Amino acid sequence: MKDLLFFEKMVTPKIINLVYWLMLASTIVTGFGAMFSNYGGGFIAGVIILISGAIGARIFCELLIVLFKINENMQKIADKT
């Protein structure tokens, strides 16, 4: 508990997984909504939203994870010295 209160251990990397699935779910809902509505471009716009949203969510979350991995490795280096 001390590690969490004094920011020795990061909680955010565990939350990123949840954020990814929420972003993916919202992308799917938005994509299918655009596919089957008469407003906003139709079927092709929905497919583009599905593909770009899924790729964008993945890239965003992976970049966040890379930042936290860098932080972990920097802490390991600092602990060695």
Please write the tens of the pLDDT for every residue from 6-38.
777 777 878 999 999 999 999 999 999 989 887
Mean pLDDT to the nearest integer, 63-75: 91
The amino acid at 80: K
pTM of the predicted model, to two decimals?
0.76
| Residues with Cβ within 8 Å of residue 49, at least 6 apart in sequence | 27, 30, 31, 34
Q: Where are the domains of the chain?
A: 10-80
